[in-house]
Structure 1
Amino acid sequence: MRLISQSGEFDVPYEIAALSRTENIIRVYVPIVGEKGTVMARYSTNEKAKKAMKALHKVYAGMFLAQNVEMSDDDCEECIKMAARGFGIIKTMVNSPDMKFEPANIVFRFPEEDGV
């Protein structure tokens, strides 16, 4: 998943980033960038910053729909290898040995002040 700053100036992968909210400011920490953190969003109130973080959590959690199917140990290992490629969906067809990994290209942009 990609995180876009409120201004659109910064774009970082969520999977390698850590976020923090201090009062009304949301910062991202990416190992490559450094320890100071980069401001991703700034709101007029602490409550609006909390709402923006809650919206991020909802987008990341999303909805997961699955159907349990029986599979061999080899098929299970193949699914695990595909899932290691990143956030996405593993598709299988009933009565078919074919499996396919489709990356989920999810983008979250921190909303403007009036969008929270």
Structure 2
Amino acid sequence: MRLVSQNGEFDVPYEIVALSRTGNIIKAYVPMVGEKGTIIARYSTNEKAQKAMKALHKVYAGMLFAQNVEMSDDDYEECIKMAARGFGIIKTMVNSPDMKFEPTNIVFRFPEDDEV
């Protein structure tokens, strides 16, 4: 998942960033940027900053429907190869030997103050 700042100037993978909310400011801490952190969102109230963080959590957690299926060792190996391409979903159809990998490109842009 990608995180984008309110102003769109900061775009980073969620998996390598730590976020903190102090009052009405949300900062991202990325190893290559530095220890001070980068402000990625600023809100008029603490409550709005909390709501923005909750919205992020909902997007990240998302909702996934999955069904367990029996598969051969060859099919299992193929799934592992597909999953190595990155974050995504491996789709199979019931009663079909076909499998397909679909990357999930989720982007969360912190909303503007008046959008919270």
Q: TM-score, normalised by structure 1?
A: 0.88
Structure 2 stretches of 5 or more lacking a match? none
Determine the C-alpha separation between the residues in 2 that align with 1:22 and 1:72.
Answer: 51
What secondary structure, in the 3-state scheme, does the structure 2 residue paired with 1:7 have? coil
> Within 2, Cα distance between the matches of 1:78 and 1:46?
48
How far off is 1:11 after superposition? 0.8
Q: Report the count of equivalent residues.
A: 116
Report the CA distance between 1:13 and its aligned residue. Answer: 1.0
Identity between Structure 1 and Structure 2 (%): 86
Q: Using the alignment, how far apart are the partners of 1:82 and 1:17 within structure 2?
A: 25
Superposed displacement of residue 97, structure 1 = 2.7
Greater Cα offset, 64-73 or 13-22: 64-73
Q: Given the superposition, is the C-alpha separation of residues 9 and 90 from structure 1 closer, same or farther in structure 2, using an over 3 Å criterion?
A: same
Q: Is the alpha carbon distance of 1:81 and 1:35 closer, same or farther for their aligned partners in structure 2, counting shifts above 3 Å? A: farther
Stretch deviating more after TM superposition (82-91 or 2-11):
82-91
Q: For residue 10 of structure 1, what is the aligned residue in structure 2?
A: 10
Moved more, 3-12 or 64-73: 64-73
Report what 2:31 is aligned to. 31
Pairs within 5 Å for 1:6-85: 6-85=6-85
Query: Aligned-pair RMSD on alpha carbons?
Result: 1.6
What is the TM-score of this pair, normalised by structure 2?
0.88
Offset at 1:73? Answer: 3.6
Aligned AA (1:48): K
Gaps of 5+ in 1: none
Larger CA deviation: 64-73 vs 52-61: 64-73
